[in-house]
Chain A
Amino acid sequence: MIYIGAEEIISPLGVTADQNFRAMVNNQSGISLVADAGLNKTPVHLSKITDLQFEHPFDSLLEKVLISLSEKIDSDIITSDRTILLISSTKGAIENIIGDQFGRSVAFIKERFSLRHQPVVISNACISGVLAINAGANFISAGLYDHAIVIGCDLVSDFVLYGFQSLFAISEKPCLPFDSERNGITLGEACSAVLVSNSPSVFREAPLRLLKGTSANDANHISGPSRTGEGLFRSVKKTMEINGISDQDIDFISAHGTATVYNDEMESIAFDRLSLTHVPLNSFKGYFGHTLGAAGVIETAVSIQMIRNDILLKSLGFQQKGTSVTLNIIEENKPSELKTILKTASGFGGGNASLIIQKL
């Protein structure tokens, strides 16, 4: 069996998973209007960590989150020969370094924590986080390692912000996933980590069970989602089938929900094809914005916190149905016992990935 836990989160809402979760229970969002941030010095809504005063913010966030994570586990495993570090990120330190935007950070972390193996950077657009967690589980199942530390991290940069502005994909208001008024994403920055392991005893707090996840490509367009949700449909279907999970077993879906018109519509179509429209669902983008390579990890971390706290968190920013298919979008926080949850992600390059976590 593969276990997952020791989740940590650094975001505008706090520097621990606990702080983040408490803020979310109080319906707080990390998104605010940032003056001069956009192209031609326009104000833009962002979920930005304001006190990020480091010379190398990307390296420092990786370091900070790994220190926090080590306090939640048997810290000997960090330097173990049986441990691999997977870093999920789209652009790394692009603001400072163009070219080798991961090299220095990875070398720094490897040295700083005396890691035995070369860390692997998974850079697969917005599905990187879910893919990295799945890769960690795969490495362990295959007997190559016993533990995989997965860190997802991306920063807000001019590079990425101007890019999404050139695509007219940035929302004027804070993003509104699945809502009828939604009109684009809000970018966010965050760093989040989880431990995946074959040993329940290395976690200080009881872990959960991680089932085998899968990915599938849309084979449709490099930057636009498939109209039929084909890749997402295939990935979730595979993940459910290989684990013998039916649509009745799933208690909650942490959807991707970027709040672009086409993405959220695509997801609704895929969930309809999967007979999952009855399952309570949200997008966490209203709390953190779209944190790109960090998104899959941070959203899995919060989902784990929801299971631990027996609560469904509402889909912040959602008011009115905005997709052709009606989904069961969570409108208010409510206590609920959660046993099995599905996390999905979709992204540029046509990628889709999914994973399932169960309460033990």
Chain B
Amino acid sequence: MDQLKEDLKKQIIEQLNLEDIQVSEIADDALLFNDEGLGLDSIDALELIVLLEKFHGIQVTKPEEGKEAFMSINTMADYITRRKAEQAV
């Protein structure tokens, strides 16, 4: 799980061009879309959907699904783990 969170942080920095941010600066529970967190916007949210497909093979068909999943690194990791488990069944 911790490895997944580290990977996610790296992928987010790369996919969203957050060049001035280091992996260590992103807390697991920081709110990604809050200005005190990463301050992401609506296009970033869509780019996270691309990220999930590209790096994790998970398709999100409705952007609303992403809303709760993308609150923080913790929720993203939980979401990926759950979807992977579903795919395995």
Contact = CB atoms under 8 A, between A and B. Distances in A.
Given A167-B43, A168-B46, 9 more contacts: A166-B46, A166-B50, A167-B46, A168-B62, A168-B63, A221-B41, A223-B42, A223-B43, A224-B42
The listed residue with most B CB atoms (<10 A of its CB), out of A167, A168, A223, is A168
A195 B62 CA distance: 44
A324 to B, nearest CB: 19
Interface of A: 166-168, 221, 223-224
B29 to A, nearest CB: 27
Contacts, number: 11
A224 B50 CA distance: 19
Interface residues of B, number: 7
Nearest to A221: B41
Nearest to A168: B63
A166 B59 CA distance: 12
Contacts of A166: 46, 50
A224 B44 CA distance: 13
Interface in B45-71: 46, 50, 62-63
Interface in B9-63: 41-43, 46, 50, 62-63
Nearest to B61: A168
A224 B46 CA distance: 13
A297 to B, nearest CB: 28
A166 B54 CA distance: 13
Name the 6 nearest CB pairs between A and B, nearest first. A168-B63, A224-B42, A167-B46, A223-B43, A166-B46, A168-B46
B15 to A, nearest CB: 13
Contacts of B41: 221
Contacts of A167: 43, 46
